[in-house]
Structure formats: structure tokens, C-alpha cells
Chains A and B, each alone.
Chain A
């Protein structure tokens, strides 16, 4: 953190904005992940309100894979230069 007061104030506003974007990104990530794994793992007939064992495993694996995919894409985006 800069020791200069003016620089501090500007820094704080920016940090708050960045934190807000980060948080909104996480919420969006969670929502999309939840939706996609529901569509892929849960049968639409809704025979019961409980999750069975198969669905539970599917959910766990789906979340894990989605997470890995997110990291993969993140790495790619982080290392490549933006196209001119």
C-alpha cells in the first residue's frame, strides 16, 4: 500500500471495485456451475425429492470437472496475448 494519502484513497476505490467484480464473477461462476451440473446429472422426471447416490456422485464429479475446466481456460486466457 502506498504511504501517500491521496494514492491511498484512489487505491481504495479501485480495490473496492475490483473486489466487487471478483465477487460478482464468483457468484456467476457458482450459478452457472449449479445449473449445468443439474441439467447433466438430474433426471427431469422428478420421481422423488431426494438426491440418490448416483446423482450425488455425478454432482461431485461434475463440480470437480467444471472446476478443472475453469482453471484450464483461466490458464489459457492468462498466458495468451489479446488479439490486435
Chain B
């Protein structure tokens, strides 16, 4: 989601464009923070199961890093496909 959506509204007066732009910014910020929280929750849930010590061990650390990276790559791919479908482009089976 980005400001290119504003292209549609280019004919609106500048004040309205600014309001739309500010609204998009707000939604984006909120979504980024939400994503941060849910990513931590997901990777912690999947990777950490024992509490014999208070520090993450090497295995847990590696797992969390991989989990986060994997999710971000996944999210990017989903974004690509989502954008294609939004534009009505035919996609391979």
C-alpha cells in the first residue's frame, strides 16, 4: 500500500490530497507496529518452548532469525501476488 493510490485523487484539491496522504501514513504506521508485534509473537511461539534459563540459547536465536526472515520474504511475495490480482492480471496455475 503506498501513495500511488493518490494518483486516482489527483483531481482533488490539494487540501484533500494532503488529508488522504496523512490518513494513509497513519494507517501504514499503525500496520507496521502491529506487524512487529505479531511477528515477535509468532516466532516466539514457534521457537521457544523451555524456560530453564532466562537467555535465549543459540538454537532459539537461530530459529527466531530464520522465522522472521522467512515471514518477511513470504510477506513480500504475497504482496506481489496480491498486487497482480488487484490489477486483474492473469496468473500462472
A interface, CB within 8 angstroms of B: 12, 16, 19-20, 23-24, 26-27, 30-31, 33-35, 37-38, 41-42, 44, 46-51, 55-56, 59-60, 63-64, 67
Are the C-beta atoms of A38 and B16 separated by less than 8 Å? no
Q: Mark B68-82, 1 if CB is under 8 A from A, else 0.
A: 011101110111011
For A60, list chain B residues within 8 Å (CB): 77, 81, 91-92
Are the C-beta atoms of A23 and B78 separated by less than 8 Å? no
Q: Which of B23, B74, B81 contacts A51 (CB 8 A)?
A: B74
What's the count of A-B pairs with C-beta under 8 Å?
80
- Whose C-beta in chain A lies nearest to the C-beta of B38? A35
With contacts A59-B78, A60-B81 taken as known, whether A46 is within 8 angstroms of B46 at the C-beta atoms is yes
B interface, CB within 8 angstroms of A: 1, 5, 16, 19-20, 23-24, 27, 31, 34-35, 38, 46-47, 63, 65-67, 69-71, 73-75, 77-79, 81-82, 85, 91-92
Given contact pairs A34-B78, A42-B71, A51-B77, a sample of 8 additional A-B residue pairs in the complex whose CB atoms are under 8 Å apart: A16-B19, A23-B24, A24-B27, A27-B1, A30-B82, A34-B75, A46-B63, A49-B70
Interface of B is mostly: helix
